A and B are shown apart, each in its own frame.
Chain A
């Protein structure tokens, strides 16, 4: 009744063979139902959830926001809080139902037999206590070590999680450590009492991609060497693919599919899992196609489901799906799927939205494209926090956010900016919109200096350049309806007729795929994806030529992210818009950008047409970024990962900004001299001391992209 078991690829070295008798599960969750209650009613966060984790196995619990995955992790830890309540079900740990234990015994298990690492290392450590003391606490509490004994063990633990200077780090306060170091300290804390089970709740989501790659590597290594079992809660399929042997997919608080990671991610059986896998932006995909996406918004349950939870968004749904709740269908190997059509759909891929699948030709691509660029950035420099003072100890040079950046954006062109936190990518975007004044250099928009115009009070030019924000909630005034927010740009543009404005607003909302009636709604009544559509519609209201998208899809769930990326691509094609697309995700940018700037420490490392940047020669940083892009089981072989050191110091000084973390650093020259720029005829530029020929010798991270003909544009 499921896909043929013999076809399952053995992805995990731990699951030795399918025929050997499986050991009893370490964690066995059965029929877990959790609800949150408040004055407005109850919300079912998990319905009849069941899964098992065997000793030495890492299980991924994946789902989008609101799927209930973190709630389940917290229920296992007995840390639900905030009105959360386990209504029914069993949580069997080593054969004992945790729910039957008194609170004190469950507390004694926490941190000892069951340890946890949470999402945000920046807030998970107590700012008022030293790191060493926080790691020592469970050792003293559960293992009865004296503080002195614990201190010795703390240093061992810190060394084990890859911290070079354990003594110094143990004596440090959390704010003195980088995010990666903090997460390592949290992992050391969790390992301290040699637990049997780790609960990892999105342990790398708050980290930069290159740091994330290292932490995942560390976790995989530790789980292997300590024979740890782990519940790995994540929304990131690529990471799950990398570290988990089995995976359980949640949707709307319901398990829709479970099975071996390789099988689920390469041949998902449940329609939702199919959609999720399909919607993930892949670097290797043909960019002329729209990204497959899941329509609609994530379901919220208020009671036990009376129908398939996914039916409202499912392209394969039939009448039966909407009238009956679905039962879990399992086979002998522990694979399971909650869809009665799973067998019938076995070979059917997730459908493309449009029959053609191809985008319409772009209107902007005319001779005009080759004429004068729309945006010209010349030697832009921005320093924050510099201050002159009569008191000598208050004078400071400030922090360099952007150091000497020059580039252009053509009409109808999409330029991507890829970088990690602190790379200066957002500052570049703000400078282009005259939201921040450059410390040096100029930004010309359509040949005019935007900053100077705005200073003089001339706003006409500025309205032609707009911004789509990351945080869709904060970018809308909570006290204004969607219509009111969109009305102002039109009023300012001199459109006096209220009736006509209303029609325009309705038109814009329809254009971004929202009902015109949404004009009367308040921002808090919309979902994240809908708010982002409103943001885009508002940006379009001034009829701009140029839009800066600052992490515009980063906060969205994968299925929604694909929707918004498609919308942005459509708008560019139809209206001839230019974008500056700022993101930390090189896979996302490869889907929409014509050209890419890779930035690090306020400087441009590499710049060029997207097809060129994805192929060697690479800047060492670009290479590391590309190697950190997670791939799914069905997508081909994984490239060897290039792991960067954690940043010890902030970039700055005279040399190459990347020198401190560069795995291919030549020597003192990298620290002391600014790197030369190698430029090729097709506009590909790399700033590096390593000769271009040497850089070109490296193997391609994505071999399928190595052939230039495979790349459109």
Chain B
């Protein structure tokens, strides 16, 4: 198709030099997420106040010079709490997604590559898992034992395993029809080589896009679980939990809910844009990148 096109030596050029050719959404996504990542890593040390320092004298203070985004019903600084909560929310999203990928990708690869009874069994198990509405599955897992954040992460991770398995299996099945896989079988490659060297490199781009969206869903689901009291526990400063705690005071002090709300929105939009950008960047039709 590109007989006359000069070969682009993509790897030799630095990321900065390639910046103009990167998708706009990717750049905006990174710009939005960068401060959040900084906050997640260094949250506590950046915060003007300790996130759990109560002060009855300064309850429900509106935003001002002392408290940039006001205080909550215990007089805790909303900005500090939001800052510290970044870690909790992002960790929840990323860890749960990682968990579902860790369990889902190998299962999907096996189901797609092996097929037969093993594949059938895996897919049927996934069907049962998928028969529960996501939040219900989370609640079910959490209701057994006293809630804790790590349990919420595990629960969300489990909720998203079937989707990851299905996607991985679908791509694997599609790739199995590809002639270059047939060529690998013909030259006598082992199953492991085909899975890890021929299939996996072609799976990860769509998986990366999928994972970025999963992180969004996981953050939102995590916030929802915290909101109904099944995720992060007081006095920690998870965004979902903060909004939940703010609800009774929303008429007098809407800022308590707004600050973590905006933080959530930034994270979600940022990751969404990152995903869109990744999709554009990894599109095989985009010949500049291989």
Contacts and interface: CB of A to CB of B under 8 A. Distances in A.
B35 interface: no
A527 B3 CA distance: 6
Given A297-B3, A463-B188, A471 B183 contact: no
A40 B184 CA distance: 34
Contact of A474 (B1, B179, B186, B187): B179
Contacts of B183: 467, 469, 475, 485, 538
Contacts of B198: 477
A492 B189 contact: yes
A489 interface: yes
Contacts of A521: 7
Contact of B187 (A302, A476, A526, A542): A542
A476 B180 contact: yes
Interface string A453-494: 000000110110111010100111111000001001100100
B284 interface: yes
B290 interface: yes
B187 A479 contact: no
A477 B180 contact: yes
B114 interface: no
B182 A488 contact: no
B188 A492 contact: yes
A360 interface: no
A488 B187 contact: yes
B187 A469 contact: no
Contact of B2 (A435, A459, A466, A525): A525
Interface in B167-181: 178-180
B116 interface: no
A488 B184 contact: yes
Contacts of A474: 178-180
A474 B178 CA distance: 6
A277 to B, nearest CB: 24
Nearest to A528: B1
Contacts of B188: 459-460, 462-463, 492, 542
A148 B188 CA distance: 63
B290 A479 contact: yes
Contacts of B201: 477, 479
A602 B201 CA distance: 37
A488 B189 contact: yes
A205 B70 CA distance: 72
Interface string B153-177: 0000000000000000000000000
A703 to B, nearest CB: 41
A142 interface: no
A469 B287 contact: no
A118 interface: no
A462 B186 contact: yes
A658 B184 CA distance: 37
B247 interface: no
Interface in A585-615: none
A538 B202 CA distance: 20
A298 interface: yes
A492 B190 CA distance: 10
Interface residues of A, number: 36
Contacts of A298: 3
Interface in B269-286: 284
Contacts of A462: 186-188
A40 B202 CA distance: 25
Nearest to B288: A40
A488 B189 CA distance: 9
A421 to B, nearest CB: 17
Interface string B48-91: 00000000000000000000000000000000000000000000
B290 A522 contact: yes
Contacts of A542: 187-188
Nearest to A472: B179
Interface string A533-546: 00000100110000
A269 B1 CA distance: 29
Contacts of B182: 435, 467, 469, 475
B4 interface: yes
A464 B190 CA distance: 17
A18 B2 CA distance: 44
A14 B209 CA distance: 60
A463 B183 CA distance: 10
A300 to B, nearest CB: 5
A524 B287 contact: yes
A433 interface: yes
Nearest to B6: A525
A394 to B, nearest CB: 13
A40 to B, nearest CB: 8
Interface string B1-33: 111110100000000000000000000000000
Contacts of A527: 1, 3
Nearest to A473: B1
Contact of A300 (B4, B7, B178, B287): B4
Closest 7 CB pairs of A and B: A459-B188, A475-B179, A489-B187, A477-B180, A469-B179, A300-B4, A527-B3
15 contacts: A300-B4, A435-B185, A435-B186, A462-B187, A465-B186, A474-B180, A475-B180, A475-B182, A476-B180, A479-B201, A485-B180, A488-B189, A492-B188, A524-B1, A524-B2
Interface of B: 1-5, 7, 178-180, 182-189, 198, 201-202, 284, 287, 290
Given A475-B183, A479-B202, A527-B1, 17 more contacts: A298-B3, A435-B186, A459-B188, A462-B186, A465-B186, A466-B187, A467-B183, A467-B186, A469-B183, A475-B179, A478-B202, A479-B290, A485-B180, A489-B187, A524-B284, A525-B2, A525-B5
Interface of A: 40, 297-300, 302, 433, 435, 459-460, 462-463, 465-467, 469, 471, 474-479, 485, 488-489, 492, 521-522, 524-527, 538, 541-542
